[in-house]
Amino acid sequence: MGQVDLGPRWKKAKLDFQKITGEKKPKKKGFVSETLGHSGIDSCFKKADKYCDAIDAENDLRKRAKLIAAGEKHGVSLDSTVKDYIKFCNAKMKDEEADRNQRTTYTKALDFLSDRLDHLDKLYDQFLDSRKIAMDKTLSGQQKVHRMMYKSFTSVIANANAGVKKVRANPTPEQFREIYDTNDNIARKVQVQLVQAAGAQKKGLLPSLIVDPRFIADKMTPWQAEGKGECVCGDDWSAKQIQDKNAEFEKLLKLAARYMVDLNEKAPRG
């Protein structure tokens, strides 16, 4: 398996969608399941994975730079395909809500699918940028840290958003545990970034911002320990209990997202 494994992750997201909605056949109105495999995304992700593997396997810096450039060119195509697909999902969500006059499990599952797709697109972008930034001799150490940190934050926030929406679409104990009560869950991934940002800030590699990354990281501690704290869910929990608990984490996630925005706004230029 490669560094980012976009193809396998997208395949899992499609299976998750079908598991949540129970839709395995085309639907007359609403989202057409067979479109999941005929959107061009599968082939785009497969090609992106090949670029990622080739880049990390190449030790010649000039050849690696050419591979990164080719990967970025493919990224433009991937961005366009993802954008079109998310637009398609949004239209289907709108139709479904209009038909039912409410947000349904179906629309929530589509919302999750869109966010997962956005996350995978950002993950590819982060991979290419991190390799490109590391090779760029025109950037200062501070600029490199800042850009890498922002790109990494963008990816983990998108990943966490997809997890939150997955629970929202399917508020069951089993789904809650899959997202929260696991090793290296979405909260831990975000917390690791926040702790790293706080350390870089202390060393003067990142600017001090209105939102304190250490404060948010500490607030996330009860959410990132498998089998402990806020990660535990009872077998008898109702959908409302799970939704309420999921919403609690989402508030912390929004704080982390606010930090990400501030970090980008204060990026050193040059």
User: What is the spatial distance between Cα 123 and Cα 155, in angstroms, rounded to a whole number?
Assistant: 5
| Beta-sheet strands, E only, within 1-80 | none
Question: Is-contact 150 46, C-beta < 8 A?
Answer: no
Question: Is-contact 198 217, C-beta < 8 A?
Answer: yes
User: Is it the case that residue 149 has pLDDT exceeding 70?
Assistant: yes
Q: How confident is the model at residue 264 (pLDDT cuts 50, 70, 90)?
A: confident
CA 46 to chain centre: 18
The residue written with tokens 């697109």 in the block is 121
Token representation of residue 163: 């997890």
pLDDT of 198: 93
Query: What mean pLDDT is predicted for residues 57-73?
Result: 95
User: What is the spatial distance between Cα 170 and Cα 57, in angstroms, rounded to a whole number?
Assistant: 39
Query: What mean pLDDT is predicted for residues 38-42?
Result: 79
Q: At what angle do helices 61-100 and 105-135 cross, to 10 degrees?
A: 160
What mean pLDDT value characterizes the chain? 88
Query: What mean pLDDT is predicted for residues 73-78?
Result: 96
> Measuring CA to CA, which residue among 155, 147, 111 is closest to residue 130?
147
User: Is it the case that residue 70 has pLDDT exceeding 50?
Assistant: yes
User: Is it the case that residue 97 has pLDDT exceeding 80?
Assistant: no
More confident residue, 66 or 139: 66
Q: Decide: pTM greater than 0.75.
A: yes
Q: How confident is the model at residue 197 (pLDDT cuts 50, 70, 90)?
A: very high
User: What is the spatial distance between Cα 65 and Cα 132, in angstroms, rounded to a whole number?
Assistant: 7
